[in-house]
Chain A
């Protein structure tokens, strides 16, 4: 079965420090991988995606993610955290060229950035 795992329920970081939110995947083939962010009482917003090519992907709001095929990981990173980055982050994956369309989401990681 295909799955996406986010091993940390919560990540705490001080403002100005680098942050990492971890994600590992078990998706067949060369998967498409995504990060989304959710603010309270809102839908999910797309941050970035890895399709192919450079393993370091840059996205919105200064976020980036590193794809590591050997470790089947796709960790979200930001060099300097802001209090406004506090939110719920979801990693997601999809197997390309599959019939239909089904994106699998991780359980989510809540990020707290303290001033």
Chain B
């Protein structure tokens, strides 16, 4: 069974650009969450999607957005990139109705210059 797949793994952008990150959950998992990981802030919750609906959102500005498709694949977008957006972006999926354990992808490491 394939794990959670995130693309791209690494990317470099400049300030003001936008970026789209993709996440394919484990087959059968319909819940997808996104986290931002930085050395100073640890793991910060961005948002969670289930059945194409955003079910929960963290405390991030509106520049951060996401969506989920009918096949449960998810994308997140960051517009007008800032230096502080440099981070490892992690996607996690889980089986709905389970006791909540998350399965993480390898992450997308974004560097903003």
Using CB atoms and an 8 Å cutoff, list the residues of chain A in contact with chain B. Answer: 32, 34, 36, 41-46, 49, 51, 90, 94, 96, 99-108
User: What total of chain B residues lie within 8 Å of the partner, measured CB to CB?
Assistant: 26
Q: Which 3 A-B pairs have the closest CB atoms?
A: A43-B104, A100-B56, A105-B43
With a cutoff of 8 Å between Cβ atoms, the chain A residues found around residue B101 in the complex are 34, 46, 49
Q: Is the CB of B31 within 8 A of A101?
A: yes
> 0/1 per residue, B89-100, Cβ < 8 Å to A?
010101000011
Within 8 A of A (CB), among B35-49: 35, 42-43, 45, 48
Closest to B105 in A: A43
Q: How many A-B residue pairs have CB under 8 A?
A: 67
Return chain B residues, CB-CB under 8 Å to A101: 31, 33, 48, 50, 55-56, 94, 100
Q: Which residues B1-28 have CB closer than 8 A to chain A?
A: 4, 6
- Across-interface contacts of B113 in A (CB, < 8 A): none
- List 19 A–B pairs whose Cβ atoms lie within 8 Å, in order of A's numbering: A34-B102, A41-B106, A42-B106, A43-B90, A43-B105, A44-B92, A46-B103, A90-B43, A96-B100, A100-B55, A101-B31, A101-B50, A101-B56, A101-B94, A102-B33, A102-B48, A105-B35, A105-B43, A106-B42
